[in-house]
């Protein structure tokens, strides 16, 4: 009986532990917080993607052709983003919570540009990327766990969870920029 309970305990513990490895937990950012902490907010189309091994790790470089900047501008015609994870012929790395892009996809992205780094990074991991279908912006936080934390500056919203009208989202971003 004791060995069955011990076996059951070990199996349940292993399942719970493995489940926790499949997600990344981050602070849920409200749209106002995401807007304020981004250097660039841009609408555009993904035109190129490539994964490379850099110092033994896979990084994916994604190129976006901008159609509209909501905040900031880029110094070049195209915006080049990079994130950890991806797939090469030799190696695949999957990082929970990283946004996924595909060539031809229309997106709205919230980006940061660290000093002395030539690539943009999606702000807030998958929180900072919304897929566009016409005038509808759809978030996909995937396996990203969002931890709600009370904020004096803003209240987290459910914009991470449901599709929104792009014009409405634009108004909300503009409001956040004006109250900054």
Who wins on pLDDT, 38 or 90? 38
pLDDT, residue 147, reads: 67
Is residue 65 within 8 A of residue 47, CB to CB? The reply is: yes
pLDDT, residue 151, reads: 53
pLDDT, residue 22, reads: 54
Distance CA 114, CA 72 (A): 14
Using the structure block, give the residue that is written with the tokens 């807030």. Answer: 124
Distance CA 1, CA 67 (A): 66
pLDDT-based confidence at 158, cuts 50/70/90? low
Segment 95-148, tens digit of pLDDT: 888 999 999 999 999 999 999 999 999 999 889 999 999 999 998 877 667 767
Please give the C-alpha separations between residue 179 and each of 42, 90, 92, in angstroms, as whole numbers.
Answer: 20, 48, 43
Segment 6-39, tens digit of pLDDT: 444 444 444 444 444 556 777 788 899 999 999 9
Please give the C-alpha separations between residue 11 and each of 4, 7, 16, in angstroms, as whole numbers.
Answer: 10, 6, 9
Distance CA 105, CA 67 (A): 13
Burial class (CB in 10 A: 0-12, 13-18, 19+), 88: middle
What are the residue boundaries of the structural domains of the chain, listed by start?
A: 22-178
Segment 52-67, tens digit of pLDDT: 999 989 999 999 999 9
pLDDT, residue 143, reads: 67
Distance CA 25, CA 147 (A): 7
- CATH dotted code for 22-178: 2.40.50.120
């Amino acid at each position: 009986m004791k060995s069955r309970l011990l076996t059951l305990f070990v199996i349940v513990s292993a399942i719970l532990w493995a489940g926790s490895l499949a997600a990344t937990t981050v602070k849920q950012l409200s749209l106002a917080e995401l807007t304020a902490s981004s250097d660039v907010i841009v609408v555009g189309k993904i035109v190129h993607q490539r994964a490379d091994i850099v110092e033994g790790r896979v990084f994916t470089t994604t190129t976006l052709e901008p159609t509209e900047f909501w905040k900031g501008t880029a110094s070049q015609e195209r915006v080049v983003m990079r994130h950890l994870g991806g797939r090469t012929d030799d190696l695949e790395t999957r990082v929970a919570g990283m946004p996924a892009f595909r060539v031809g996809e229309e997106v709205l992205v919230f980006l940061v540009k660290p000093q002395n780094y030539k690539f943009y990074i999606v702000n807030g991991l998958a929180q900072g990327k919304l897929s566009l279908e016409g005038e509808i912006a759809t978030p996909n936080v995937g396996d990203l766990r969002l931890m709600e934390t009370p904020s004096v500056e803003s209240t987290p919203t459910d914009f991470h969870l449901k599709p929104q009208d792009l014009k409405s989202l634009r108004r909300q971003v503009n409001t956040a920029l004006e109250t900054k």
